[in-house]
């Protein structure tokens, strides 16, 4: 895999460099609520502009249905990128049409253009190789060189991620190189004890990685909405809590495997519960109560791990050498249910371990709760990509960069 440093050493002055970034930022009424993914691509973009490249930045945002949709426009991300660069950024209102070509043709060395959401074109996500290839051909016409720096998308076999690198000289950007280096530490150069913290809503999203980790991790700490399927598998009442009944047999099998292989699989011992899901817009007080994990009332919903679980999990992180965390412990967006996630983040900071926050909601929570990002070993920009790498899957966007 060639890196951007090799590209820069060859010289890029005046060349059109297509940077596949991940600008898939959360928006609320058109306002970016977390610009972490935009900031993550800055080192690559700055290095290229400083070297005189004409930089074409492309990304997806959300899940539009293969057609333009103003709700998913990349314009807010382009404007924020310009603010962070401290320089104007041109914005094309299409992906490969006249506006895109005009924006790219108008670039001077050291300038940047952002083209519109790639998923406005059905060729980007098509499962048909020919349709994807045709869109990749059109994208290739905009550039001389390809740089992959959107780690959050490398697990997708999409035109701009998988097909486009085959059509241009291709390199890994700084973010991709960093992310892959960190994940190798979790798979090839592992220091123990290795503790994995998994949360989030659905246990089905984590089954494959749990299957892999049962042979690699020393401890698994389970929280978030997915924990209630585990508790149900142990025969506990979980009330109105999030539950995937169809996953109970698989979860039960994993609990048994953990016992047989000596992996510590820890579940919450208490929970914060309430009759209803909180209002995340008004953040009105929710008045939760704390109950034991095996005593959740039938009319209550578990929404965060309780204080005893926070202490237990912190103690299991204290002597770790390596920690990977993916998924919040509760509904962290509401202050009454943020303490479980806050406790995990603080425990990672207090631990001497090399700590990796696995993207997605975990990364958003770290920023929303006001933690210093530099206090963690690494905060990934790709939750799904990180999990699939740990599952041992081949990621199309990384395979495409290999020569």
Residues 6+ apart with CB under 8 A from 127: none
Nearest CA among 248, 320, 20 for reference residue 142? 20
Handedness of CA 125, 384, 359, 150 (dihedral sign): negative
Provide the 10 A C-beta neighbour count for residue 200: 21
Distance CA 133, CA 167 (A): 9
Q: Bridge partners of 27?
A: 32
- Burial of residue 279 (CB within 10 Å: 0-12, 13-18, 19+) is exposed
Torsion sign (Cα): 348, 349, 350, 354? positive
Per the annotation, the verdict on 360 as an active-site residue is yes
Q: What angle do CA 12, 16, 18 make, to 5 degrees?
A: 105
Is 37 catalytic? The answer is: yes
DSSP H/E element including 258:
helix 248-261
Q: State CA 127 to chain mean position distance.
A: 23
Exactly one of 150, 358, 360, 397 is catalytic; name it: 360
Q: Among residues 20, 37, 119, 316, which one is catalytic? A: 37
Tokens (6 digits) for 316: 């299991």
Between CA 157 and CA 400 the distance in angstroms is: 10
Find the catalytic residue in 2, 167, 202, 252. 202
d(CA 403, CA 401) in angstroms, rounded, equals: 6
d(CA 7, CA 1): 12
Cα dist from 44 to 17, 74, 258, 393, whole Å: 11, 19, 42, 26
Catalytic site includes residue 199: no
Distance CA 295, CA 303 (A): 14
Do 189 and 321 meet the contact criterion of CB atoms below 8 Å apart?
Answer: no
Catalytic residues: 37, 202, 360, 384
């Amino acid at each position: 895999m060639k890196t951007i440093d090799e590209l820069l050493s060859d010289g890029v002055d005046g060349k059109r460099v297509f940077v596949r970034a991940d600008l898939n930022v959360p928006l609320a009424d058109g306002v970016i609520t977390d610009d972490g993914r935009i900031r993550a691509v800055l080192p690559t973009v700055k290095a290229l502009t400083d070297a005189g490249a004409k930089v074409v930045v492309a990304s997806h945002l959300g899940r539009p249905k293969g057609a333009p949709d103003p709700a998913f426009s990349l314009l807010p991300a382009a404007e924020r990128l310009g603010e962070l660069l401290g320089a104007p950024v041109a914005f094309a209102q299409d992906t490969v049409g006249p506006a895109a070509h005009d924006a790219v043709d108008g670039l001077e060395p050291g300038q940047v253009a952002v083209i519109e959401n790639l998923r406005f074109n059905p060729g980007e996500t098509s499962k048909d190789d020919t349709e994807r290839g045709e869109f990749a051909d059109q994208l290739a016409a905009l550039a001389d060189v390809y740089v992959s720096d959107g780690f959050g998308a490398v697990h997708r076999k999409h035109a701009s991620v998988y097909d486009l690198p085959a059509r241009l000289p291709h390199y890994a950007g700084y973010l991709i190189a960093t992310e892959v280096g960190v994940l190798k530490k979790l798979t090839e150069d592992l220091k123990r004890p290795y503790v994995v913290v998994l949360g989030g809503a659905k246990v089905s999203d984590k089954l494959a990685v749990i299957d892999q980790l049962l042979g690699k991790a020393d401890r698994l700490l389970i929280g978030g909405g997915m924990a209630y399927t585990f508790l149900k598998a142990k025969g506990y009442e979980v009330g109105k809590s999030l539950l995937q009944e169809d996953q109970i047999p698989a979860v039960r099998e994993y609990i048994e495997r953990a016992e047989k292989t000596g992996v510590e699989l820890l579940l919450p011992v208490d929970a914060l519960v309430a009759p209803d899901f909180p209002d995340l817009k008004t953040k009105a007080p929710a008045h939760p109560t704390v109950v034991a994990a095996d005593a959740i009332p039938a009319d209550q919903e578990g929404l965060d791990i309780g204080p005893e679980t926070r202490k237990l999990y912190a103690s299991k992180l204290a002597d770790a050498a390596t920690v990977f965390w993916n998924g919040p412990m509760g509904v962290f967006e509401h202050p009454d249910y943020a303490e479980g996630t806050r406790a995990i983040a603080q425990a990672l900071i207090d631990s001497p371990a090399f700590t990796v926050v696995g993207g997605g909601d975990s990364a958003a929570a770290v920023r929303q709760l006001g933690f210093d990002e530099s206090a963690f070993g690494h905060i990934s920009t790709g939750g799904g990509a990180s999990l699939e790498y740990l599952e041992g899957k081949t990621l199309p966007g990384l395979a495409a960069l290999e020569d």
